[in-house]
Amino acid sequence: MLDEMKKRVYEMNVELPRQGLVAMTSGNVSGRRPGDDRVVIKPSGMPYEEMGPEDMVVVDLQGEVLEGDKKPSSDTASHLYVYRQRQDVNGMVHTHSNYATSFAALGEPIPACLTQIADEFGGDIPVGPFVPIGEEDIGQAIVENIGDSPGILLKNHGVFTVGESPEAALKSAVMVEDAARTVHLAQTRGEPDRLPDEAIERAHRRYQEDYGQ
């Protein structure tokens, strides 16, 4: 069932340690086919180097396991909440990547002071409140606070990104960390100017419309 999507979700999960976004078993990626009511997600607490595509768990939008002999990620209920509320979201990533999570620790957004942030996020990378892990509270906090951004920080916790595919959500997770790293470095020495709203909008539009093949 969903072998192609399992392979893609697996590939994006193992990309997390390759990109330096996770330590040990932390972090997870999920995905669904557009319009489908099934979600493929990482098994809970499983080492990345021991996983294969066949270990990905298939659940329905209420969290019922449809296929897989592993327990799904402990963040599953929150992923599903987002998939139920956002038909445009077909991929999600969660990490504790260090630089971005340092903004989450302080409950601070990452300001749009770089063209790369304007390009990818279309504004500041927002931050939502602290909510407990395990049920769908995190999913609710994401939906309520993410706006049009593909990425959000949750206070005292970490990073969540969404996208039209697992690959798009993974790209945003990498770019959140890359932006956070540069802004952190700048903020330890001074206060970078935020780009004007008009420049942010123009850069974001150009990036969406003209960039890439």
CB of 101 to its own copies, least distance (A): 5
CB of 69 to its own copies, least distance (A): 9
Asked whether position 212 contacts its own copies by CB under 8 A, the answer is yes
Span from 1-9, 23-31, 80-88, 139-147 in contact with its own copies (CB under 8 A): 23-31
Sheet strand arrangement including 158-163: 65-67, 57-60, 38-41, 28-31, 91-95, 158-163, 151-154, 127-128
- Total Cβ atoms within 10 A of residue 69: 9
The site that binds its own copies (CB under 8 A) totals a number of residues, namely 62
- CA 128 – CA 133 distance, rounded (Å): 14
Dihedrals φ, ψ of 190, to 5°?
A: 180, -160
Tell me which of 36, 38, 46, 84 binds its own copies, using CB under 8 A: 46
Nearer to its own copies, 26 or 145 (CB): 26
Tell me which of 133, 147, 197, 208 binds its own copies, using CB under 8 A: 133
| DSSP assignments along 74-138, one per residue | TTHHHHHHHHHH-TT--EEEEE--HHHHHHHHHT--B---SHHHHHHHSS-B-EE----SSSTHH
- CA 15 – CA 171 distance, rounded (Å): 10
Asked whether position 206 contacts its own copies by CB under 8 A, the answer is yes
Dihedrals φ, ψ of 144, to 5°?
A: -75, -25
Asked whether position 62 contacts its own copies by CB under 8 A, the answer is no
Asked whether position 29 contacts its own copies by CB under 8 A, the answer is no
- Total Cβ atoms within 10 A of residue 52: 10
Span from 34-42, 58-66, 105-113, 142-150 in contact with its own copies (CB under 8 A): 105-113
Asked whether position 210 contacts its own copies by CB under 8 A, the answer is yes
Span from 6-14, 69-77, 85-93, 139-147 in contact with its own copies (CB under 8 A): 69-77
Q: For 28, which DSSP code?
A: E
Q: Helix, strand, coil: what percent of the chain each, to 5?
A: 45, 15, 40
Binding flags for its own copies, 172-191, as an x/- string (CB under 8 A): --xx-xx--xxxxxxxxxxx
Q: In the complex, which residues of this chain contact its own copies (CB under 8 A)?
A: 23-26, 43-46, 70-71, 74, 96, 98-99, 101-108, 113-116, 119, 130, 132-134, 155-158, 171, 174-175, 177-178, 181-193, 195, 199, 202-203, 206, 210-213
